[in-house]
Amino acid sequence: MKTLFVVFGTRPEAIKMCPLVLELKKQTCFKTIVCTTGQHKEMLRPILELFNVVPDYDLDIMKQDQTLFDISSSTTEKLRPLIDKIQPDAIIVHGDTTTAFATTLVGYYLRIPVIHVEAGLRTNDSFSPYPEEFNRCAIDKISSICFAPTNKAYANLIQEGKDPESCYNVGNTAIDALKYTSNGNIDKNIEDKIKGKRLITLTAHRRESFDGGLESIFKSIVEITQKYDDVVVVYPMHKNPNVRKHAYDILTNNDRIILCEPLDVLSFHSLMKKSYLTLTDSGGIQEEAPSLGCPVVVLRDKTERMEAIEAGTVVLAGTDTNRIISIVSNILDNNEVHDKMKNAINPYGDGMTSNKITNIIKNYFAEA
């Protein structure tokens, strides 16, 4: 029997890997071992509970205000003896986090095949997003199988010289995950405060925005609430202290800006469904937005997810205060612009991605 070793560590990886873990665990021809690095702690736990996934190993690496060196060094140090002992037939990683990159490096050093889920996304700028663009390119370079979520991502891999026999366009497991998150309710406290208003959901956490970008984003939020008295903004703040200090400096003392803890994914998706608009620098939210029927303004200069922009649900705004205000005003002022964004079609697959990936891995081992 073949052994698969699945590793993830952050909130978005968990949301998009759990549906695949559940599918892999149904198979009798594999043993599937799940390991979390614990790069995230509080933000990971509710997702594991929702999907009822119990990791076999938890490396428990998270430190307050951790650096990229902290994450990569503790992951490689703790994973090496574990993988060396288990000797899996393949390691499965997701996306572009430093957990995924450091795990891939361990796989490469130990000569164990790596399988990359959500491969081929590119901005072609190693510092935007930072360090994710470098991470995903390096992971793809080393991986034995790349699962691209779209035609565009698949084409990027082929253009970079990957063997077409090792790359597959399978859709994104983010859409599979939505089947598990559709029954949530908005927190009662938040619901009372947003009654009769147009709701804007905000999330922001990117490392490349720590140097001025976050302040500029938060100033635009204050000005938008001053310009539109029927707008209320809910911001489930990322746990990163670098994010929170700017949020507390700029966004407090405004009764139409609600700061709260990160929401569990069921509540977050119901919040998005109720939102007139979401402002975000998140990657995963750009993928979910078309399926949740919520227009999205992306608070970054570049995105590796052009598909939802082309589908019409997402607009790229960057972090400049005036540009954000102008783009948001255009949506708030024009119903037809808003409705067109709301009704675009999801470009990320049919929700059967985990099943497709599982079948391809089965064939890979059958032929090996």
88, 107, 113, 131: which one binds ligand UD1 (CB under 6 A): 131
Nearer CB in complex with ligand UDP: 173/220? 173
Nearer CB in complex with ligand UD1: 259/360? 259
Is residue 76 near ligand UD1 by the rule CB under 6 A? no
Considering only residues 229 through 258, tell me which ones interact with ligand UDP, judged by CB under 6 A.
236
- Residue 202, SS3 per DSSP: strand
Beta bridge partners of 73: none
304 contacts 126 by C-beta, under 8 angstroms? no
227 contacts 250 by C-beta, under 8 angstroms? no
Q: How far is the CB of 17 from ligand UD1 (least distance, A)?
A: 13
| Span from 18-26, 95-103, 182-190, 251-259 in contact with ligand UD1 (CB under 6 A) | 95-103
Interaction partner, residue 285 (ligand UD1, ligand UDP, none; CB < 5-8 Å by kind):
ligand UDP
**Token reading at 180:** 């598990």
Interaction partner, residue 268 (ligand UD1, ligand UDP, none; CB < 5-8 Å by kind):
ligand UDP
Between the CA of residue 327 and those of 21, 97, 164, 332, what are the distances in Å? 39, 29, 40, 9
Interaction partner, residue 39 (ligand UD1, ligand UDP, none; CB < 5-8 Å by kind):
ligand UD1
| Span from 65-73, 106-114, 184-192, 348-356 in contact with ligand UD1 (CB under 6 A) | 65-73
282, 321, 353, 358: which one binds ligand UDP (CB under 6 A): 282
> Nearest-CA neighbor of 44 among 13, 16, 11?
11
143 contacts 157 by C-beta, under 8 angstroms? no
Nearer CB in complex with ligand UD1: 32/280? 280
**Token reading at 71:** 């994450």
Q: How far is the CB of 97 from ligand UD1 (least distance, A)?
A: 3
| Span from 77-85, 277-285, 296-304, 320-328 in contact with ligand UDP (CB under 6 A) | 277-285
Handedness of CA 297, 298, 301, 307 (dihedral sign): negative
Is residue 31 near ligand UD1 by the rule CB under 6 A? no
Residues 6+ apart with CB under 8 A from 169: 148, 149, 150, 151, 153, 154
Site string for ligand UDP, 4-43 (x = CB under 6 A): -------xx--x----------------------------
> Nearest-CA neighbor of 201 among 148, 277, 134?
277
List active site positions. Answer: 96, 118, 132, 205, 207, 238
286 contacts 15 by C-beta, under 8 angstroms? no
Angle 90-96-97 from CA coordinates, rounded to 5°: 95
**Token reading at 146:** 């790349």
Q: Please give the helix or strand (H or E) that residue 2 lies within, else none.
A: strand 2-8
- Contacting positions for ligand UDP (CB under 6 A): 11-12, 15, 203, 205, 236, 262-263, 265, 268, 282-285, 288
- Contacting positions for ligand UD1 (CB under 6 A): 10-12, 39-43, 62-66, 68, 71, 96-98, 131-132, 205, 239-241
